[in-house]
Structure 1
């Protein structure tokens, strides 16, 4: 393994991070998320001063790419959850390419220094194009359907960034990233995630006797929190100032913001924790999670997202039955933006409250609802034609 090599400080003579060393991709992902080897590897090989990347294999290059530091300020480098997503997506792509190499006409090239061939050094533009075309129809998404447009776009952005890194590092000699097919998300590709006051009230009323789900729906709607931000929130993140409760949140890109917790939301949290047999006392030194499972463990954001999605879409409510796509917790974030606008909040105040870097992202949350609201067809409601149909 990698640490055995580091103790010798010799040039790598065999594959140190290899698929055969791990039972499954989950185990490999866990190993690659540990950045301890990154610092030792840089020190042992003087990677920064003499970037001879030919001594590494594909998985080691993934490892170096994911943990690559660009700034002295640690807050400006990739966060752990971002690294986790990069590792997961890159390993899935790597396995897809390996499993279907005949379909993509990939001829693997063996490198003398390694016991395993290099997939990325074997890739040509034609192989990558065949892979991208295959992704459009392969049943890899939810319900054995193709990937959603946004999912496909995210994966291709990560792959393109990685291939550019390999080229800059002279690990590959062909700039594969330059000819990748575009996978940008168009406005028309964005699913309708609109929820307004009426829909949220129906959801809250439906789950009024389920304090756990009711609390989650209430807090996500009234704060605009991402599900991951909710799961990462701790008791010490709540402060009380000038008669209001505030939750300090670490969002995307390590951007901090405060969200207002209304008094009835605080009461909902209290009821939630009571059901979990836990006290709710504000304490600046208590770094335990606010929301825990019945076993007292912090929620995994993916588990909680799936849990809420499952129960919300089983609700016997007309607007849910009529929807073409299932409602996820992210819809409640859209609801926060829409309801804020309905109550007079401006785009300039909604955007930072959601932790958005630019107003354009927030505007997308509001476009479809405002388009319907401003439709000229509303002027027909009292027309003679409608009344005499």
Structure 2
């Protein structure tokens, strides 16, 4: 990458930079956005396409931070931006690093741009390589799950469509990309029923571990997402005197807000968690500090919380843990909330609202196996001629 560009890193190409963490942080900051907006303004004044004077790195950066809504809270969250940056930088770096293996047969580099030099055949080959070779190059012992392939494909496709729509590239690079969908039987098994959740809660309660018990108790009984737990603040917890109940204000996916009840025993667990961390236990609407902190006094990061819960639950040695194909993580506990609610008589619409889902189809995915078990035709045989054999 040449000197003088907004995202300059000396003479090095950021796509090939070894320190991926520092590169990602460089792309995550919003410091460069106003300068890039000015470049677009200048292009418009001169009747040029908006990204005429952008480098590849700059157009990638702009795509991630592009503000579609005047309300900042309705644009991409930092977590979403991190995921997009990681995936798109990885995509560009792989194209360069494994060009021969992928067969990126570029004869002429156009305008010093990787993206402008690509053709639909290259993206088709990259997608095939991503599915067949990338997981093993990254040290995995098995192929990517269908959901992972679908996520990676979706991010890359969206970015390339953005380039074409805004005239940064002259060809629709996604023209030969294969679709990547996830069928119901390809989804990882995240089901955790009432009895299994009870076993896990009992284990950590009897172990007298207020930290782990508090985390698990909150996640199972509220169904909140990993990120929602990590971002919860003291000021988000309040008491409704009319209902005589505690509530937690959630900053959800897509920066949408919702309120979840905190039942009395769950509130007690939050109090014990905070006592164990040496924190205050008084409600305070002005306190924006994290409601839950790690041993270093910082808010939990979602990746750390997943590893922490997985490792802790594994060591229980419970049969419901040992016999699972997929690890137990915060999202498993979210599924558990849906299943327990369904068994408790809640309808799908109510569960959807409680989870903060926009579409009822998403909630139905959580409950698909429950529907299959309950709605099977054999349950009607109790009154058939074969009733004595079932």
State whether structure 2 residue 227 is matched by structure 1 residue 236.
Answer: no
Partner of 2:202: 205
**Alignment pair present for 1:192 and 2:189:** yes
Instruction: Work out the CA distance in 2 between the residues paired with 1:13 and 1:339.
Output: 52
3-state SS of the aligned residue for 1:294? coil
Does the 8 Å contact 1:227/1:329 carry over to 2?
yes
2:267 alignment partner in structure 1: 266
How far does the alpha carbon of each residue in 1:276-331 deviate from its partner, in whole angstroms, 9 at most, with x for none?
A: 11111100000010111112111111101111112213321112222222222111
Could you tell me which residue of structure 2 aligns to residue 101 of structure 1?
99
| Offset of residue 36 of structure 1 | 1.9
Residue 66 of structure 2 corresponds to 68
CA spacing shift, 1:28–1:349, aligned 2, 3 Å: same
1:339-372 CA-partner distances (Å, limit 9, x unpaired): 1111111112111110100111111111102211
Q: 1:246 to 1:121 in 2, by over 3 A?
A: same
Kept in 2, the 8 Å contact 1:17–1:60? The answer is no
Tell me how far 1:47 sits from its aligned partner: 5.4
**Residue of structure 2 in register with 1:353 after alignment:** 354
Give 1:328's aligned residue.
Answer: 329
Deviation of 1:55 (Å): 2.4
Shift of residue 110, structure 1, vs aligned partner:
3.0
Is contact 2:150-2:180 (8 Å) kept?
yes
Residue 124 of structure 1 and its aligned partner are, at CA, apart by: 1.6
SS of the residue corresponding to residue 179 of structure 1 reads coil
Deviates more, 1:375-384 or 1:321-330: 375-384
Per the alignment, in what secondary structure is the counterpart of residue 367 of structure 2? helix
User: What is the CA distance between 1:258 and its match in structure 2?
Assistant: 0.3
Matching of residue 24 in structure 1 with residue 19 in structure 2: yes
Out of 141-150 and 292-301, give the one that drifted further.
141-150
1:151 aligns with 2:133: no
Tell me the alpha carbon deviations over residues 100-146 of structure 1, each in whole angstroms, 9 at most, x when there is no partner. 1112221344345xxxx422122222211111112222225784322
1:79 is aligned, of 69, 73, 77, to 77
Distance 1:215 1:349 in 2: 25
Q: Name the residue aligned to 1:9.
A: none
Check the 8 A contact 2:43/2:51 in 1, yes or no.
Answer: no
Secondary structure (helix, strand or coil) at the match of 1:31 reads: helix
Instruction: Indicate the residue corresponding to 1:277 in structure 2.
Output: 278
Which residue number corresponds to residue 220 of structure 2? 221
| Distance in 2, Cα, partners of 1:341 & 1:45 | 51
Is residue 266 of structure 2 the alignment partner of residue 247 of structure 1?
no
Q: 1:245-299, CA deviations, whole angstroms, 9 ceiling, x for partnerless residues? A: 0000011111100011111111111111111111111000000101111121111
Could you tell me which residue of structure 2 aligns to residue 57 of structure 1? Answer: 55
1:18 deviates by 3.4
Say if 2:248 and 2:260, in contact at 8 Å, map to a contact too. yes
How has the CA–CA distance of structure 1 residues 45 and 5 changed in structure 2, closer, same or farther, with 3 Å as cutoff? Answer: farther
Q: How far is the alpha carbon of 1:178 from its aligned partner? A: 3.1
Q: Please tell me whether the aligned partners of residues 132 and 143 of structure 2 are also in contact (alpha carbons under 8 angstroms).
A: yes
The one of 169, 173, 180 aligned to 1:172: 169
Mind listing any 5+ residue stretches in structure 2 that lack a counterpart?
Answer: none
Taking a change above 3 Å as real, the CA distance of residues 370 and 124 of structure 1, as seen in their structure-2 partners, is same
Work out the CA distance in 1 between the residues paired with 2:259 and 2:307.
26
Distance 1:380 1:142 in 2: 51
TM-score of the superposed pair, with normalisation by structure 2: 0.89
Decide which moves more: 187-196 or 39-48. 39-48
Query: Offset at 1:3?
Result: 10
Query: What is the deviation of 1:73?
Result: 2.9
Question: C-alpha separation between the residues in 2 aligned to 1:355 and 1:21?
Answer: 39
Work out the CA distance in 1 between the residues paired with 2:40 and 2:2: 12
